[in-house]
A and B are shown apart, each in its own frame.
Chain A
Amino acid sequence: MPINAADTAWVLISAAMVMLMTPGVAFFYGGMVRRKNYLSTLMMSFITLGLIGLLWVIYGYSLCFGADKWGIIGGLNFFGLQGVGQTPSTVYANTIPQLAFAAFQMMFAVITVALITGAVVERIKFSSLLVFSALWFTLVYCPVAHWVWGAGGWLNKMGFLDFAGGTVVHITAGVSALALAIILGPRKGYHEGERMDPSNIPMVLLGAGILWFGWFGFNAGSALTSGGLASSAFMTTYIAGAAGAVTWMILGWCYQRPSVLGVATGAVAGLATITPAAGYVQPIIGIPIGIAASLIGFYCMAFRSKKTRIDESLDVWAVHGMGGTFGTLAAGFFASLAINAGGRNGLFYGHSAQVLIQLAGIASVWAFAFAMTWGLGKLVDITMGLRVSPTEESVGLDISQHGERAYGGWMR
């Protein structure tokens, strides 16, 4: 097919918007930790733009979208981006240059790794996090992205629906966050009732705002064309973010006050949850999905913090893992060929088996992400140690890992 200029422009802009989401995650998380760990938390997300970007162009794109091997991984035919050029791929997004597609997909890999870091803030050793991130990207992200989006991927062939990464991005990140937090153990003082107040809630809100903006690239960009489907996904995305923010505000009000932190979290929950369904469902369905996103996120967060002893510090599992899970399932109910002729009908449109397909995909990705992260986390822990020393933890990771302070120079 010839290159379509409008499609290309939209996908390139979308890629740039999704790139900005990673600094968005950095601020969203950074503002939630104590001041002594502010920079280190920003750094954990920001560095993925470098590290994962490099791995992506060397072999990541190829493992995800290279010639299929047994339905589980891509081959190395695109190693070093060879053969990925200015002409469209014959398989993926055939109206835009393959380089635009590869760049767009790169931003997804980058942000997925950044999302996990919310679980391990304030105590993980930076060098170990880098090693874990590289391993995790290679052995968890790339296979799952191939299963779901790669031509010949086994979930793709089954007809599994994940429009923009509810499973590939949010379930993998959320479930892995939970596993890694369990291996790493709680922050010093977490069970002793020490206060772990957020250092900068305005930054959390700024981060959430950047994320919300970037999410139009994430979801509407995933149409990979600039026409009606992109517009539909755009509106659906906005609606779910809005419904998530308002629902979390109300929940906060019921129990205490409508907190700013809660509204920021609710918007992100709504956006994460609509991601897998954004290009398959009617825009107005964003309302029930957004409402459900915040209900699930809010109560999963309460469950995690009150009923378990797991210090999954910034609740990546509750918001992204459970949100992605529900959204992926919801696609199996609400998907309609009238919205996306390239998709499938869900249960409400006469194809009840779609729910089972979605459940099968969810269960396999949960199990795979949890088990692999457990293995990789243990491996890094045994070989180089995942945690900083207790002294380094007390002093804070900004000084102990990076030799800098967020504010006021050396003396803060």
Chain B
Amino acid sequence: MKKIEAIIREEKLESVKNLLEALGYHGMTITEVSGRGRQKGIPLKWGSKEYRLDFLPKLKIEVVVMDEDVSPAVNAIVRGARTGEMGDGKIFIIPIEDAVRVRTGDSGTAAV
């Protein structure tokens, strides 16, 4: 069981969600986050002054899947979120020890 944590552009949520849904991954959690990557934000010009905007608004999507589903789900997110420009985001894959469904008390695979 793995958690996929993807930081994406805000405007790419719809396309990522639709691609994940098409593969049957319905459950996900979205958080509004601010962050920066290796480029330390983006340079902007105000008149002649250079300015660096270092934290940019992004969305974090969290999806928990079975081990064998990691690669198709990650592919879907990459396809949905990519523009080819800097700032497309990053995906982290984290092992999950267990999961519990609150309504039934089911745990493990059955709870995901």
CB–CB B11/A395 < 8 A:
no
Q: Which residues of A contact B55 (CB under 8 A)?
A: 410-411
Asked whether any CB of chain B lies closer than 8 Å to the CB of A391, the reply is: yes
Asked whether any CB of chain B lies closer than 8 Å to the CB of A2, the reply is: no
Q: How far, in whole Å, are A400 and B57 apart by their CA atoms in the complex?
A: 14
How would residues 32 to 52 of chain B score, 1 for a CB under 8 Å from any chain A CB and 0 otherwise? 001000000010101000010
CB–CB A411/B44 < 8 A:
no
Asked whether any CB of chain A lies closer than 8 Å to the CB of B56, the reply is: yes
Asked whether any CB of chain A lies closer than 8 Å to the CB of B14, the reply is: yes
CB–CB B14/A395 < 8 A:
no
Asked whether any CB of chain B lies closer than 8 Å to the CB of A99, the reply is: no
Asked whether any CB of chain A lies closer than 8 Å to the CB of B13, the reply is: yes
Asked whether any CB of chain A lies closer than 8 Å to the CB of B53, the reply is: yes
How would residues 9 to 43 of chain B score, 1 for a CB under 8 Å from any chain A CB and 0 otherwise? 10101110000000000000000001000000010
Q: Which residues of B contact A36 (CB under 8 A)?
A: 57
CB–CB B14/A412 < 8 A:
no
Asked whether any CB of chain B lies closer than 8 Å to the CB of A193, the reply is: yes
Q: How far is the CB of A197 from chain B (nearest CB, A)?
A: 11
Q: How far is the CB of B58 from chain A (nearest CB, A)?
A: 11
Q: Which residues of B contact A394 (CB under 8 A)?
A: 9, 11, 87
Q: Which residues of B contact A400 (CB under 8 A)?
A: 44
CB–CB A193/B44 < 8 A:
no
CB–CB B56/A195 < 8 A:
no
Contact of B14 among A193, A392, A399, A411 (CB under 8 A): A193
Interface-central residue, A193, A194, A195, by most chain B CB under 10 Å: A194
CB–CB A395/B42 < 8 A:
yes
Given A189-B11, A195-B11, A395-B44 contact (CB < 8 Å): yes
Q: How far is the CB of A31 from chain B (nearest CB, A)?
A: 18
Q: How far, in whole Å, are A194 and B46 apart by their CA atoms in the complex?
A: 28
Q: How far is the CB of B66 from chain A (nearest CB, A)?
A: 30
Q: How far is the CB of A335 from chain B (nearest CB, A)?
A: 49
Asked whether any CB of chain B lies closer than 8 Å to the CB of A350, the reply is: no
Contact of B53 among A189, A194, A195, A395 (CB under 8 A): A395
CB–CB B34/A399 < 8 A:
no
Contact of A194 among B14, B42, B44, B56 (CB under 8 A): B14
Asked whether any CB of chain B lies closer than 8 Å to the CB of A342, the reply is: no
Interface size on B, residues (CB 8 A): 15
Q: How far, in whole Å, are A403 and B49 apart by their CA atoms in the complex?
A: 12
CB–CB A391/B42 < 8 A:
yes
Q: How far, in whole Å, are A395 and B54 apart by their CA atoms in the complex?
A: 11
Given A193-B14, A411-B34, A403-B46 contact (CB < 8 Å): yes
Q: How far, in whole Å, are A400 and B46 apart by their CA atoms in the complex?
A: 8
CB–CB B44/A412 < 8 A:
no
CB-CB contacts below 8 Å: A359-412 with B: 391-392, 394-395, 399-400, 403, 410-412
Interface-central residue, A195, A394, A400, by most chain B CB under 10 Å: A394
CB-CB contacts below 8 Å: B78-102 with A: 87
CB–CB A395/B34 < 8 A:
no
CB–CB A195/B44 < 8 A:
no
Q: How far, in whole Å, are A403 and B47 apart by their CA atoms in the complex?
A: 12
CB–CB B57/A392 < 8 A:
no
Q: Which residues of A contact B51 (CB under 8 A)?
A: 403
CB–CB B57/A412 < 8 A:
yes
CB–CB B13/A395 < 8 A:
no
Q: Which residues of B contact A411 (CB under 8 A)?
A: 34, 55
Q: How far is the CB of A409 from chain B (nearest CB, A)?
A: 11
CB–CB B44/A391 < 8 A:
yes
Q: How far is the CB of A101 from chain B (nearest CB, A)?
A: 40
Closest Cβ neighbor of B13 among chain A residues: A195
Q: How far is the CB of B88 from chain A (nearest CB, A)?
A: 11
Q: How far, in whole Å, are A391 and B87 apart by their CA atoms in the complex?
A: 10
A sample of 19 inter-chain contacts (CB < 8 A) reads: A189-B11, A193-B14, A194-B11, A195-B11, A195-B13, A195-B14, A391-B42, A391-B44, A392-B44, A394-B9, A394-B11, A394-B87, A395-B44, A395-B53, A399-B44, A399-B53, A403-B46, A410-B55, A411-B34
The 3 closest A-B pairs by CB, nearest first: A194-B11, A411-B34, A189-B11
List B residues at the A interface (Cβ < 8 Å): 9, 11, 13-15, 34, 42, 44, 46, 51, 53, 55-57, 87
Q: Identify 6 new A-B residue pairs, CB closer than 8 A, beyond the known A400-B44, A411-B34.
A: A36-B57, A194-B11, A391-B44, A395-B53, A399-B44, A411-B55
